[in-house]
Amino acid sequence: MRTTLAVVLGCSLAVVADARLADAQPDDAAQRKAGAEAAFRQGKDMLAKGQIEAACMAFKQSQALDPQFGTQYNLALCFEKWGRLASAWGELTELAAKDTNKPRRADAAKRARALEPRLVRLLIVVPMQVPGLTVTRDGSDVTDLIGVATPVDPGPSKLVAEAPGYQPWSFDVTLAGEGSTVTVQVGPLEKQPEPPPPPPDDDSGKAAPDILRGPIAPPPRDDGSGRRRMALIVGGAGVVALGVGAGFGVYAWSTFDDAKALCGGDPSDCRGDLDSARTKVDAARTQALISNIGFGVGAAAIVGGAILYLTAPDAEARPAGAAVTPVVGGDRAGLVLSGQF
């Protein structure tokens, strides 16, 4: 009897302990329902006070805690009063398809049809095909909505387009105008600049082997052919200039003789065609000036060409020079000097 009593008493204590433990840990679902009910009542109170935005946030919180068709219906009506017609239309459309309350479902369908012509729609157009393109609107991925006129709530919005290898593209747009469709064309996207080439490997920390590097060759010696060629060109130009000077000298002499003939022998005491004689004298002076310039330039060019030719290096002269050979080792470095002196 004692043994049986002890067993029964132990079971009773275990049941009492479990019951107390259950009371100490309230059911999570019950807590969520209670929170949803409180948020729903708060939404009703705020809606009565005209606090539309706060009321919508309270209904939205209640629906997140405990989804109910009735809460969703109140949230849709609140969105409509707030001016967020696309959000209201979305909630009403879902209610029209799923609500088990037939009168409310019919009313939701009627309200959704009434809102549809008033909706603002956003049409995203991408004229160029870019691999890996993604488009976001206010941080939400809307890539799948490209080319679809999608109902949106009015207000400012930011579109961002990104693709591998391209610069990000962004655009700020204001969505407004009941019943309108706002079209935004993405791009064109610009390719990112090519990355700089990687720096060369740094071998400074590696031990250099003992090697005899090739000699550093002296610069090639000028054999004088270029300078002599230039001397001949300059001298030839000087000869041409002398010829020009001589030619114009002859012209000047002949023109002056014509002037003397027109004046009867002395242009300074002209007794003939004075105007023609003066013209001839002026022409003779110009020709004489050109002749003097030609003689001067030609003489200078001939002298310069002769100097260039005579000072040109001799191609057959044996150069005296030296070669420098660096010797580099792991713990030493030096130069070897060799050549003819």
**Residues 254-306 pLDDT 10s:** 887 887 777 776 777 676 677 787 787 788 889 888 988 988 888 888 888 78
Phi-psi region of 224 (alpha: psi -120 to 50; beta: other; left: phi over 0): left
The pTM score is: 0.49
**How many angstroms separate the CA atoms of 91 and 104, rounded?**
13
Answer yes or no: are the C-beta atoms of 122 and 184 closer than 8 Å.
Answer: yes
Q: Give CA–CA dist 223/77, Å, rounded.
A: 101
The string of pLDDT tens digits covering residues 126-151 is 988 888 999 999 999 999 999 999 99
Q: What is the mean pLDDT of residues 171-179?
A: 91
Q: What is the largest CA-CA distance in the chain?
A: 179
Measured CA to CA, the distance from residue 145 to residue 133 in angstroms comes to 13
Decide: residue 259, CB within 10 A, 0-12 exposed, 13-18 middle, 19+ buried: buried
Burial level of 62, CB count in 10 A (0-12/13-18/19+)?
buried
Main-chain phi, psi angles of 177, to 5 degrees: 95, 100
Structure tokens at 336: 């070897």
93-108 pLDDT, tens digit each: 999 999 999 999 999 9
Distance CA 333, CA 210 (A): 9
pLDDT at 315: 57
Tell me the Cα Rg of the chain.
53
In which band, very low, low, confident or very high, does the pLDDT at 20 lie, cut at 50, 70 and 90? Answer: very low
- Position 89 scores a pLDDT of 96
In tens, the pLDDT along 201-226 reads 655 555 555 555 555 556 666 677 88
Residue 186 and residue 125: Cα distance in Å, rounded? 6
Task: Give the closest residue to 182 by CA, choosing from 135, 117, 142, 122.
Answer: 122
